[in-house]
Structure 1
Amino acid sequence: MANNDPTKIRFAPKGAVYLAPAVGATLPTAVGDGKTAPTGYKSLGYVSDAGVVITPTVTADPVNVWQSAVPVLFNVSAATFTVSATFAESNVNTTELFWGASWVAVTPEGGGTANTWRLDLSSTPELQEISLVVDWGQGDVLNRVVIPRSMIQDRGAITLVRNANQEYQLTIDALDSDGTLGYVLTNQDMTTAP
């Protein structure tokens, strides 16, 4: 147990999720300050106390040969990088991302009621391509995941009850971006082994 260091055990008591249109996004190259959205990105607000789940997955298929009862090699058949979260805040950014459409003001001239907003759900929706940033930290240690290109892979149901807030459950999958799915930034010193 030599060289174990309990000061390097990490929690994520603070964090945020940000999005920007994938096309034209200026990808962050610094870990940030843990409080401010990267330039050009917008906050998705509060996340439920279940937090954010980041899942990198590599699927490999075995290469079997006649001369061996066990695989002699594995070949990568798929790779995914997924971010899942349940957003607790009903703000414009979160609701537009969840519904896949934009809010527009209803006007009395158009036959509507003033101070009303409308979001039209298409019968043939177009999938939005977004850039996603997830920040988290503990104390002075800050971390950031940057996904240059991604799309919503799954949406959960919204439950309407009197004793719990509305929540927007989203699973977002990274798309290929010049041979990468994304990258991780940290200000923790990674030059020394435990």
Structure 2
Amino acid sequence: MANTDAGKIRFAPSGMLSIAPVGGSLAVPKDVGDGGDTIPAGYKALGYVTEEGVTLTPTIQTTPLPAWQSAAPVLYNVDSAAFQVQATLLEASKIVTETFFGTTWEEVMEDVGGTPTPTGTYVLNLSSLPELAEFSLVVDWKQKGHFWRVVLNRSMVSERGAITLQRTQSKQFQLTIDAMDLDGSLGKVYTNEVMAD
């Protein structure tokens, strides 16, 4: 068959999601990385993801412009552009639970003789007026020597799934993360593959 090459088919058998607070001295990655074996400086790994993996969804919504002289649109205008990352995380770590619940853990203190004393109990305060946290997201994956990386300079959790508590299934933290604009960019995709015809 003409113009076919099974050697160009790619899988993503392993990878990693990493996040970091936006701003400060954060150096957003500008290279392809190593497929998730090394977490970018200043970032924290979100750990294990369910076997369904990570879903990347670039979206462009347009409005067609019809014309009197044509039965088909003569132009499309861009209404909106988006880039979403969806994943279900498995680890009940500090970074995962804080990202999922949208707040930070605090240690509960008790007054012992006028001195605040740690109790060994931690609490997430769920506000009725939560502040949405903004962060940078890196998605790394690889197959053999082929490395890929998506970098979202600014992003935010736009949707959270339900946590099911069961005897035979681990807790899962389902997140949808949306890229946000930064100087006309939603993010970048890097690879070490030669992109030639």
Shift of 1:32: 1.3
Structure 1 partner of 2:2 = 2
C-alpha distance in structure 1 between counterparts of 2:20 and 2:171, whole Å: 23
Of 108, 133, 136 in structure 2, the residue corresponding to residue 128 of structure 1 is 133
User: Which structure shows the higher strand fraction?
Assistant: 2
**C-alpha RMSD over aligned residues:** 1.5
Normalised to the residue count of structure 2, the TM-score between the two structures is: 0.92
* Aligned counterparts, 1:44-123, within 5 A: 44-109=46-111, 114-123=119-128
C-alpha distance in structure 1 between counterparts of 2:88 and 2:185, whole Å: 26
Of 146, 153, 158 in structure 2, the residue corresponding to residue 141 of structure 1 is 146
Identity of aligned residues (%): 52
Shift of 1:5: 2.0
1:88-128 Cα deviation digits (max 9, x unpaired): 11101110000000011223438887221111111110001
| Cα pair 2:107 2:118 within 8 Å, conserved | no
Normalised to the residue count of structure 1, the TM-score between the two structures is: 0.94
C-alpha distance in structure 1 between counterparts of 2:111 and 2:49, whole Å: 38
Shift of 1:76: 0.6
Structure 2 counterpart of 1:116, one-letter code:
T
Structure 1 partner of 2:184 = 179
Shift of 1:170: 0.6
SS in 2 for 1:109: strand
Deviates more, 1:15-24 or 1:66-75: 66-75
Structure 1 counterpart of 2:16, one-letter code:
A
C-alpha distance in structure 1 between counterparts of 2:93 and 2:117, whole Å: 22
C-alpha distance in structure 1 between counterparts of 2:111 and 2:21, whole Å: 31
Q: Hey, which bits of structure 1, 4+ residues long, moved more than 3 A?
A: 108-113
